[in-house]
Amino acid sequence: MALANTETLSDHDSAAAEHMLRNALAVKLRIVMLVFGTGAAAANVVTMADELCEKTQLPTGNLRHVVWVPKMMPAVSAILAPIVGPTVPRVAVLTMDGTLATTIPEGAPVDRIILEQAFVDGGL
């Protein structure tokens, strides 16, 4: 399934993953939802989050964006650990200013309403 609003970071090339992440976080006026992990559960979260991005399409671009981090490569971790903390959650949402708005811990229930609430906590 095509994920129109999602960027998936490389899980084997740390430099490439870092480059993609920096680019994703550099876009102004955008709320970013980071989804961590691999497997069906993570993929399902990414799919649902990507769908929720569709409702914020604007002429200046989409206000919501998803970054899937299947693996915390060293360079990626160097950027994200100071933001999300030592324990990697299932989901983390960054505000338009790049600060952490909310997280959903690994193992917690996740559905579209919970993800929508997370986006709104992030600003929209």
Contacting positions for other proteins (CB under 8 A): 29, 51-52, 54-55, 58-60, 63, 96, 111-113, 116-117, 120, 123-124
Query: Coil, strand, or helix at residue 28?
Result: coil
Which is closer to other proteins, CB of 22 or CB of 55? Answer: 55
Tell whether the torsion through CA atoms of 41, 82, 3 and 123 is positive or negative.
positive
How far is residue 106's CA from residue 36's CA, in Å, rounded to a whole number?
Answer: 9
**Between 59 and 86, whose beta carbon lies closer to other proteins?**
59
- Per the document, the length of the chain is 124
CB of 29 to other proteins, least distance (A): 7
Shortest spacing between CB 113 and other proteins, in angstroms: 5
